[in-house]
Structure 1
């Protein structure tokens, strides 16, 4: 099973944004940081999950994925398959499409304090922008 921690951050809302992805896989750790451009914090959270899924498609095809995020909005949307805000609908659809390429995809909400690595990586991306 691949453990994936994601976080999105923005400096301002909207503002320069970044995504952090921290992956524990087969005794190894991957730390990835992505500059996202200007968007809201919630959009950055969705994009962080999308970026992580893209990495998993490339590096861990066919694996069981266990994602963790401190964004209740994203976790609830993925769990229920529903989001009200039209801005997030295509992002949720893209997450569902990518997640369907794996035999099992789980996502769980965790408190922010349990997500320090992904948070650090998201903030690094903002600093690079």
Structure 2
């Protein structure tokens, strides 16, 4: 099976049905073993992605889930991306502009944590038209609950 998700493209960007994406990260301890998951849905196609690391943080797993989802797309796409992570949501929609302007330093001039992942996410998002949607975790949203369960299951598989 291909590691990329294919959505129809017109003029370089998917213009009809957006790819709906849900992402989540989980950690057993923080730091500790962690897992991430993403659900991609476009029309009648659906794909789950998961991964894990033996020693990581919840924030890293949240970032990794979003990056993996965006990098799985074969072409520039319209995306409606759901995350329950305020860290990811605020970081990519608000904080990143100041970080870049300040040479990847925070407002108090400290280096941005998880810099390589933020830069990778910044590159991946530049290829797409993304509507960022925050969803409250554990609030009964079926797709958010699904990726939460997948991320937690990935943690269990860490050796």
TM score, norm. by length of structure 1: 0.88
Max radius of gyration: which structure? 2
Aligned residue among 32, 44, 59 for 1:15: 32
TM score, norm. by length of structure 2: 0.73
Q: Is the 8 A contact 1:33 1:124 kept in 2?
A: no
Gaps of 5+ in 2: 1-17, 100-105
Q: Give the RMSD, CA atoms, in angstroms.
A: 1.5
Deviations 1:63-88 (A, max 9, x none): 20111100011100100125636222
Gaps of 5+ in 1: none
Which one has a larger percent helix, Structure 1 or Structure 2? 1
Which one has a larger percent strand, Structure 1 or Structure 2? 1
Whole-angstrom CA distance in 1 between matches of 2:69 and 2:115: 18
Partner of 1:45: 62
Matched, 1:78 2:92: yes
Q: Is the 8 A contact 1:20 1:118 kept in 2?
A: yes
Whole-angstrom CA distance in 2 between matches of 1:54 and 1:125: 19
Partner of 2:52: 35
More off after superposition, 72-81 vs 82-91: 82-91
Higher relative contact order (CA 8 A, sep 6+): 1
State the Cα distance separating 1:28 from its structure 2 match: 2.0
Whole-angstrom CA distance in 2 between matches of 1:127 and 1:26: 31
